[in-house]
Structure 1
Amino acid sequence: MKLNIKNETSRLRAVVLGTAESFGGTPSFADAYDPKSAEHIKAGTYPVEADMVKEMEAVREVLEKYDVKVYRPKMILDYNQIFTRDIAFVIDDVFVKANILPDREQEIEAISEVFGLIDPDKIVRLPEDAHVEGGDVMVHNDYLFVGTYYGSDYPNFITARTNMKAVNYLKEMFPQKKVKSFNLKKSNYEPRDNALHLDCCFQPVGKDKAILYKGGFLNLDEYEWLVNFFGKENIFEITRDEMYDMNSNVFSISEDVVISERNFKRLNTWLRENGITVEEVPYAEIAKQEGLLRCSTLPLVRD
């Protein structure tokens, strides 16, 4: 397989879609990885396996409708393998294994089938102290957008997943890219004020448009840089509650087709008004774990 990811919206040909089978059930409150999961564990509303399996199957059906080759992880008993975007990402023709939370290391091993299809020289891993997850990394043609957290209290946030060491390493690894970092708002306790990854508050869609949440950025000048880059007229600004519901975490099959959650009425209307076909799926249960469609997909090949 020849990897090719230049941006978020070119025609998708191959992708790894996570799996909710044998996901391990509801974790203890103390073991929650993010504040939204913790909120639902405490409330007794954490999603159940059968519902999430149905949601992911709906996505698989849409992908296959558009002739996308779909790979799935090898199932690990009682182990959450939904969010494949966390574990790796592709930049141009290079497959980067992420340095994720130690408890999740087995997730990378579960996609060994994919590794076997890739030139081993094109598979790399960042140094152990360079923390990065795929939700924080977006390829946008000549640019590489990377979400991070600049604060010296970075180790205190379980929600801070990508550090500046990773940003700097990506600059060295991809000198042909203009690497732009963004200081994201983090909270261990309030999911409405926590941008877990960059794709929780921003994502390009279509030919020249973007979904954006101002409150996810700690540095106003970085938010304004994105507004100027895409043009205010091309941006769909989401609210705090829409960010909480993960409106920016949709997934593009092409510039003209986006998979979106069926309850995102305002966003889906805007997408259609801008000439984009919206394939609506149910994904509200998976969203309870502070991840949505982009989080559960790992693109390998786009045209």
Structure 2
Amino acid sequence: MINVFVNDETSPLRAVILGTAKGIGDVPNLDDAYDPKSKEHIAAGTYPKEADMVKEMEAFAKVLEKHDVKVYRPEIINDYNQIFSRDIGFVIEDKFIKPRILKDRKEEIKGIQYVLDEINPDQIVSVPDDVRVEGGDVMPWKEHIFVGYSENQDFDKYIVSRTNKAGVEFLAKEFPHKTVKGFQLNKSDEVAKDNALHLDCCFQPIGVNQAIIYKDGFKIEEEYQYLVDYFGEENLIHITRDEMYEMNSNVFSISTKVVVLEENFSRLAGILEDRGFTVEKVPYAEISKMEGLLRCSTLPLERAH
């Protein structure tokens, strides 16, 4: 059996599902892409190739294994994008939440069914029909659960709105002892630099009490300010619009000391090293063209209590 448990973003990682780029198939048609960054690269002829993405993910897997993490990979579904395992499920405390996601992605869960079969069924929670919530928007952080979402007018308007108000309310009901705090995100179906696809595209806690943040990813200034007040200005690393576009906040913590970054994030790497972090660098620039990065491609199953 797998003992699922996650209470924050940075406690020592024991087990994780890392997505796979194998079998991803051909470049999608422009009409089938559902985020602006993918559309940009399809139109420019620079959409990533399967072989390059497989190489990037193997490099990430090696880093995880070097740190004694048990790594599960999805069973391959041909001609299907299974890179971003974060969205097809997430763990909060000892519960595995099975969300409802874009209908174009509903088959993805089959690739990890063999892992779900190892989890006590009493610990698996399926969300109700009206709830939309994706793992990229959900961040357990000690006594909090931070959730990126869109109010109805934005949720109905943008395909890049992935979590609705009902998603926030569902988590508040499911975890009544936690402070569930929602953050409305700025969305754009057409301009990648104006689009925070998920909360982890503009914010992520690291270490014990620090975080990476992009102010303009947040639609409501007071909600952004809530995080500034909670973490303290001196504990935040602010990133620029271009760095947000390159996915600088979408790093991945193996522990409070070890952070995995895309190898080109030199400014961020320098700041983290100055603050005493061990920085593991992996090539992930091709995968970033699909508006997702390291956190997006992981589904942590167990972190230390």
**Alignment TM-score, normalising by the size of structure 1:** 0.99
Please give the secondary structure, in 2, of the residue aligned with 1:152: helix
Q: Counterpart of 2:25? A: 24
Gaps in structure 1 of 5+ consecutive residues: none
Distance of 2:151 and 2:233 partners within structure 1: 26
Distance of 1:165 and 1:150 partners within structure 2: 9
What's the CA shift for 1:123? 0.4
Cα RMSD for the two superposed structures? 0.7
What's the CA shift for 1:153? 3.8
* Contact 2:35–2:291 (CA under 8 A) maintained in structure 1: yes
1:11 aligns with 2:12: yes
Distance of 2:105 and 2:189 partners within structure 1: 19
What's the CA shift for 1:151? 4.6
1:150-165 → structure 2 map (5 Å cutoff): 150-165=151-166
Q: Counterpart of 2:72? A: 71
Please give the secondary structure, in 2, of the residue aligned with 1:114: helix
* Contact 2:139–2:146 (CA under 8 A) maintained in structure 1: yes
1:103 aligns with 2:119: no
Distance of 1:153 and 1:79 partners within structure 2: 28
Q: Counterpart of 2:178? A: 177
Distance of 1:153 and 1:88 partners within structure 2: 23
Distance of 2:172 and 2:112 partners within structure 1: 26
Distance of 1:256 and 1:194 partners within structure 2: 30
Distance of 1:126 and 1:115 partners within structure 2: 15
Q: Counterpart of 1:254? A: 255
Distance of 2:21 and 2:154 partners within structure 1: 33
Distance of 2:155 and 2:19 partners within structure 1: 28
Distance of 1:168 and 1:207 partners within structure 2: 27
What's the CA shift for 1:211? 0.1
Amino acid at match of 1:154: F
* Contact 2:152–2:165 (CA under 8 A) maintained in structure 1: no
Please give the secondary structure, in 2, of the residue aligned with 1:111: helix
Q: Counterpart of 1:50? A: 51
Q: Counterpart of 2:296? A: 295
* Contact 2:41–2:289 (CA under 8 A) maintained in structure 1: yes
Report the number of matched residues: 303
* Contact 2:132–2:167 (CA under 8 A) maintained in structure 1: yes
Question: Which string of whole-angstrom CA distances, capped at 9 and with x for unpartnered residues, describes residues 19-38 of structure 1?
Answer: 00010221000011100000
Distance of 1:133 and 1:35 partners within structure 2: 18
Please give the secondary structure, in 1, of the residue aligned with 2:153: coil
1:215-226 → structure 2 map (5 Å cutoff): 215-226=216-227
* Contact 2:15–2:302 (CA under 8 A) maintained in structure 1: yes
Distance of 1:203 and 1:154 partners within structure 2: 22
Please give the secondary structure, in 2, of the residue aligned with 1:95: strand
Q: Counterpart of 1:84? A: 85
Question: Which string of whole-angstrom CA distances, capped at 9 and with x for unpartnered residues, describes residues 144-195 of structure 1?
Answer: 0000012524212000000001110111111011000000000000000000
1:131-280 → structure 2 map (5 Å cutoff): 131-280=132-281
What's the CA shift for 1:205? 0.4
Shift in CA distance, 12/240, structure 1 to aligned 2, threshold 3 Å: same
Distance of 1:236 and 1:222 partners within structure 2: 17
Amino acid at match of 1:175: P
Question: Which string of whole-angstrom CA distances, capped at 9 and with x for unpartnered residues, describes residues 72-105 of structure 1?
Answer: 0000011100000010000000000111101111
Distance of 2:129 and 2:82 partners within structure 1: 22
Gaps in structure 2 of 5+ consecutive residues: none
**Alignment TM-score, normalising by the size of structure 2:** 0.98
Distance of 1:204 and 1:3 partners within structure 2: 21
Identity of aligned residues (%): 59
Please give the secondary structure, in 2, of the residue aligned with 1:144: strand
Amino acid at match of 2:147: V
